[in-house]
Amino acid sequence: MLWDYFKAKEILDKYGIRSIDSRYIESAEDAVRFSKNRPIVLKLISEKELHKSKAGLVKLELSDEKAIKAAYEELVSKGKSLKPYRIIAQAMASGGGVEAIIGGREDPQFGKLILIGLGGIYVEAFKDFALRVCPISEYDAGEMLEQLVSRSVITYKGKSRKMLVKLLMDVSKLLVENPQIKELDLNPVILREKSYDIVDIRVLE
Amino acid sequence: MKELKYILKPKSVVIVGASRIPGKVGHIILQNYINDGYSGKIYLVNRNEEEILGMRSYSRVTDIKADGIDLAVIAVPAEAVPGVLEDCGKAEVKSAVVVSGGFAEIGKQELQDEIVRIAKKYKIAMIGPNCLGVMDPRSRVNTLFLPSYKLAKPEIGGISFVAQSGAVGSTVLDLMAGEGFGISKFISYGNAADIDEVDILEYLMEDEETKVIAMYIEGIKRGKDFIELGKRITKKKPVIILKAGRTEAGATAAHSHTAALAGSYEAHEAVFRQFGFTIANDISELLYYSKIFASEAAPAGSRIGIITNGGGAGVLTTDAIASSRHMLLGELSEKSKSELKKVMPPLVNIANPLDLAGDADDRRYRDALTSMASDQGIDMIIVIILFQTPGADSRLAAEVVAMKEKTSKPMVVLSIGSEYTEMHKMMMERSGLPVYDSPRAVALSLEALYSYYKYKARFG
């Protein structure tokens, strides 16, 4: 069962894993109020669609009222076949950055696994990821990054390595301490040299 | 821990289902025991015979007057196995290899559960069912029902090879014998109803005759126990694993990207990597890595020195090294350079790779090897010998073997060619010097060696 987005966000907060400012909205006006003149993103969340971007359920860079309203109407119309669904408004992640995926799952043989890889919509195309059994040590987290073909891109030539190692260890801790979580996707996590934004969260129980 | 010592080092063996008819499994097993010169006591059981190959045959295990036989090799039809095991229990037999098929692998789980129950009741350590069993060239135990003329016989050595599948097991065993490496134990454990991969690894971890473990597995029965064992075993000795099932369909309807990416094979691979196992992607890699680990040399770093008598082969090998993950071409020290300048003919360019030219003989190689072996900038040495050239002969092969004895640096030979090359390859390999026939094989093997010792070094 898919967790409610904000229940998932809350548990991440508890482990010091920051995700981007978000809110459910019930109308286009709601979304306009949330935006406060900064560019926002609207997303439709439904258990029936895992690949939101490909299905056109993510509307990026909505910077004025007109664009927000149009995007909202479009999502509502697409949502007819995806009920039940919710629409979420999010602050737009600041520019630049590399999209990564950090995830976890419960393996029937070995227990909790943690994953990091090149993320976003290319996840399944490149299949560049590293996997370990939880809990991971600091060394393991470093080795995971080392294993990636895209390591120099993801770590900004090693500059964001420390931040990522900590993030991985926090996620590992979350996975171990919450046995009810069967699957976790943080995808994409937008990585920059000194900060990251978790833009989408999926937790399955 | 399950007592594998009675299976691998038995003082007495009973072959149940021994047969006088050539070609029958029970005949081949007996014949192999006789041919291999097993020195313990052999008893035979066959309900319908009184004598087989001049030896007395009993109709039941319980008829044998002996106090506690160490091992029963059971090769009777599946439905007769429970009765035989029950007899073994009463006669205080300590362990069993159930060669017979016809259990869980064809859906007869209940019959398999029954024999496990009997084995547990009498504390019989059981391998199988549906397996080839074991071979230990030191104790001359051989339960394999494969005619000996069809399978090259491996020498005694330090590699223990464990295979869930008998077919892959015997194939690799045959290849290992052909490659000239020595075997410590061969264990094919089939359905793993009682003794499984974790038990076997526990035993081999402590076994002093085993220096390297190579494994072919289809699945792991006890994942968490395997992880706990993994934390200890690779600190003691290298374990190479070939796992089948890479292409198995993952979770069909994954609800997350993580589950779609990381299926069961990937989970196994993650565990192997995390706990210092060496992953082989195919049978060739399993053999490459077994060979280099068997040479028991640990590299201090990842800098490679190359000596060659062919320019092209040197370049191809340099390319293979350059495209590996961790290895680098080393820089010769000033000391090596000046030493080499004194002894090499002017046509030899003093650099790494060190191309000794097509007329290089054993003496030129010896000078080159001596410098590289003592050069602080070189951690591992690749010796390329193209035996087609005029100077390369048996003296050169002997010289390289002698150098391997003198240096603690890992050293491998790359030789590409047919008959004459093959002959020298065997000479060198029998002396514990790994020989490969492609730059790719050399690069993969040195990388595996380096990665393992890097892992091990973390724990001191």
User: Could you say which of A110, A123, A130 has the minimum Cβ distance to residue B257?
Assistant: A123
What is the three-class DSSP state of B275? coil
Same domain, A138 and A170: yes
Give per-residue pLDDT as tens, B174-211.
Answer: 998 888 778 999 999 999 999 999 999 999 999 999 99
Contact between chains at B261 and A183 (C-beta distance less than 8 A): no
Question: Smallest Cα–Cα separation from B193: which of B99, B126, B244?
Answer: B126
Residue type, B222: R
Do both B320 and B433 map to the same domain? yes
Of how many residues is chain A composed?
205
Structure confidence at residue B250 as a pLDDT band (50, 70, 90): low
Co-location of B65 and B39 in the same domain: yes
What is the per-residue burial (b if ≥16 Cβ within 10 Å, else e) of B432-460? bbbbbeebbbbbbbbbbbbbbbebbeeee
Domain-ending residue, one of B268, B294, B320: B294
Dist. CA B318–CA B316, nearest whole Å: 5
* Cβ-contact B292, B284 below 8 angstroms: no
Tell me, yes or no, whether B142 lies in a domain.
no
DSSP per residue, A59-101: EEEE-SHHHHHHHHHHHHHHHGGG-SEEEEEEEPPPS--EEEE
Identity at B208, one-letter amino acid code = E
Boundary of a domain, candidates A62, A91, A120: A91
Residue B253's pLDDT band (cuts 50, 70, 90): low
Q: What is the pLDDT of residue B249?
A: 59
Contacts for B435 with CB less than 8 Å, ≥ 6 apart: B412, B413, B414, B415, B425, B428, B429
Indicate yes or no: CB of B257 within 8 angstroms of CB of A187: yes
pTM of the model: 0.92
Q: Is residue A9 part of a domain?
A: no
Indicate whether A86 and A103 sit together in one domain.
no
Residue count (chain B)? 460
CATH of residue B238's domain is 3.40.50.261
The count of structural domains within chain A is: 2
Q: Which of A79-83, B100-104, B183-187, B200-204 shows the lowest per-residue confidence on average (mean pLDDT)?
A: A79-83
CATH code of A197's domain: 3.30.470.20
- Do B380 and B436 lie in one domain? The reply is yes
Last residue of a domain, one of B269, B294, B319: B294
In B, which residues are within 8 Å of A121 by CB distance?
none
Please indicate if any CB of chain A lies within 8 Å of the CB of B457.
Answer: no
> Do B1 and B124 belong to one domain?
yes
Does residue B302 sit within a domain?
Answer: yes
Residues A81 and A172 in one domain: no
In a domain, B257, yes or no: yes
Same domain as A102, residue A177: yes
Query: Under an 8 A CB cutoff, do B257 and A109 touch?
Result: no
| pLDDT at residue A166 tops 90 | yes
Domain of A134 in residue numbering reads as 98-204
Same domain for B103 and B165, yes or no, is no
User: Which residues in chain B touch residue A185, judged by CB atoms under 8 angstroms apart?
Assistant: 256-258
Please give the pLDDT value at position B251: 47
Query: In terms of domains, do B183 and B102 share one?
Result: no
Q: What is the 8-class DSSP label of residue B3?
A: -
The tally of domains found in chain B comes to 3
Q: Are residues A113 and A31 both part of a single domain?
A: no
Q: Any CB–CB contact under 8 A between A45 and chain B?
A: no
Same domain, A107 and A186: yes
Tell me: do A170 and A103 sit in the same domain: yes
Residue A16 inside a domain? The answer is no
On whether both B15 and B62 belong to a single domain, the answer is: yes
Q: Which range of residues forms the domain containing residue B160?
A: 151-294
| B141 within a domain of the structure (yes/no) | no
Q: Is residue B137 part of a domain?
A: no
CB atoms within 10 A of CB A56: 12
> How far apart, in whole angstroms, are the C-alpha atoms of residue B215 and residue B187?
9
Residues A126 and A189 placed together within one structural domain of the fold: yes
Last-in-domain residue among B104, B132, B160: B132
Same domain? A107 vs A196: yes
Q: How far apart are CA A160 and CA A152, in angstroms?
A: 10
SS3 sequence, chain A? CECCHHHHHHHHHHCCCCECCEEEECCHHHHHHHHCCCCEEEEEEECCCCCCCCCCCEEEEECCHHHHHHHHHHHHHHHHHHCCEEEEEEECCCCCCEEEEEEEEEECCCEEEEEEEECHHHHHHHCCEEEEECCCCHHHHHHHHHHCCCHHHHCCCCCCHHHHHHHHHHHHHHHHHCCCCCEEEEEEEEECCCCEEECCEEEEC
Residue A38 tokens, joined: 């900064």
Q: What angle do CA A156, A161, A165 make, to 5 degrees?
A: 145
Q: Which residue, of A91, A106, A133, is where some domain finishes?
A: A91
Which among B223, B260, B458 has CB closest to A110?
B223
Same domain, A73 and A147: no
Average pLDDT over residues A6-30: 95
Task: Flag whether B435 is in a domain.
Answer: yes
**Could you tell me the pLDDT band of residue A3, with boundaries at 50, 70 and 90?**
very high
Are A135 and A165 found together in one domain?
yes
Same domain for B83 and B189, yes or no, is no
Work out the mean pLDDT of chain B and round it to a whole number: 93
Domain boundary among A48, A74, A91: A91
Is A190 inside a domain boundary? yes
Per-residue pLDDT at A132 exceeds 50: yes
In this structure, are A52 and A111 located in the same domain? no
Give yes or no for B224 touching A (CB within 8 A): yes
Q: Is the pLDDT of residue A196 over 90?
A: yes
Instruction: Looking at the structure, tell me whether residues B414 and B276 fall in a common domain.
Output: no
